[in-house]
Amino acid sequence: MTVFILRRLMQSAVVLMVMSALVFVGVFAIGNPVDILISPQADQAEIARATAALGLDKPLWEQYFIFVVNALHGNLGISFVFNEPALRLIAERLPATLELAFSAIVISVVLGLPLGLYVGLKPDTAVSRTIAAGSILGFSLPTFWVGIMLIMVFAVELGWLPSTGRGATVSVLGVDLSILTWDGLKHLLLPAINLALSRIALVIRLTASGTREVVHMDYVKFARAKGLSQRRVIGVHVLKNILIPIVTVLGLETGAVIAFSVVTETIFAWPGIGRLIISSITVLDRPVIVAYLMMTVLLVILINLAVDVLYSLLDPRVRYGEARA
């Protein structure tokens, strides 16, 4: 197990290294940030001074070298626009994004699991067919359009829920959270549902197909024959066995949820890292773009690693298979 984790960590480091070079060189190739940051009336000397101040007059390899050295010291550059360390900008906004992503995943499990179980246990009822058709729709609906429609119905027409921002926040251990205040919760609800939608559909599908396979297994029949209650058979014997793929897929989806929050944050003006990256791309704030991409790539790599480890802990068969190999 330790060897496995070590090997995966080394691979991750290599991937991160390659990505950093790609992103850095690529970001370097787009536009000239000086053109955007400085007033059009500036003369040649002023432009040269601004270029030198941003370190853009050095050759590319030197810039990359400085970037890597600084990155290893925890410094991913100073934002051209905010004049603040890019990493701090991201760290300030990360809790908002994580809160949103976490809420979305909780919603998708809380709604998806029971609905999926129902479809799996009684596949031929009208309700099941409706749920299954709904899950196809959940896959097909583009997130951003659903978000707009949610705003139209619940914020504009009905006026029940706010459509922008985080609302009131409470500071817990130095981290601002919306979920703990009534106002914040109201602000969180629409974006979280929006982000959760396609994952609800995913959980329904996984649960339904898993359940349909498992209910015909001998151990389930045996549990029934023992006279266990329906609740215990479903809750323990069925659920335990279908949970492994669901946990794995949801774990892997966490990275996608964080990446996809770009869309939801833009629509609901949620002050997380997703909105930061979109505005940074439009104004060519290179350090922030690089820092965001590196952070997200790192996050995805770590999540994938954690899921792999979790998977082998949950399913003894995987561990044994590995020991033999």
Partner 1 sequence: MTAAAEDDVAIEPPRAETPLRRFLADFFASRLATVGLVLLLAVIFIALFAPWISPQNPYDLAALDLLDGRLPPGSQSADGLTYWLGTDDQGRDMLSAIFYGLRTSLAVGALSAVFALALGTALGLLAAYVGGRTESLIMRLVDLQLSFPAILVALILLALLGQGIDKIILALVVVQWAYFARTVRASALVERRKEYVEAARCLALGDARIMLHHLLPNCLPPLIVVMTVQVAHAIALEATLSFLGIGLPITEPSLGLLIANGFEYMMSGKYWISFFPGVALLIAIVAINLVGDRLRDVLNPRLQR
User: Interface residues with partner 1 (CB under 8 A)?
Assistant: 15, 23, 26-27, 29-31, 136-137, 139-145, 148-149, 151-152, 156-157, 163, 252, 255-256, 258-260, 262-263, 266-267, 277-278, 281-282, 289, 293, 296-297, 300-301, 304
Q: Judged by CB, which is closer to partner 1: 234, or 294?
A: 294
Q: Judged by CB, which is closer to partner 1: 115, or 301?
A: 301
Q: Judged by CB, which is closer to partner 1: 233, or 301?
A: 301
Per-residue DSSP letters for 215-260? Answer: TTSHHHHHHHHTT--HHHIIIIIIHHHHHHHHHHHHHHHHHHHHHH
Q: Judged by CB, which is closer to partner 1: 169, or 296?
A: 296
Cα 243 to chain centroid, rounded: 21
Cα gap 23→109, rounded to integer Å: 35
Q: Judged by CB, which is closer to partner 1: 52, or 149?
A: 149
Residue 5 C-beta: closest distance to partner 1, Å: 16
> Which residue in this structure is represented by tokens 């809790």?
95
Residue 260 C-beta: closest distance to partner 1, Å: 6
Task: Report helix, strand or coil for 111.
Answer: helix
Single-letter residue type at 223: A
Six token digits for residue 290? 């690089």
Residue 324 C-beta: closest distance to partner 1, Å: 20
Helix (H), strand (E) at residue 133: helix 126-140
Cα gap 192→194, rounded to integer Å: 5
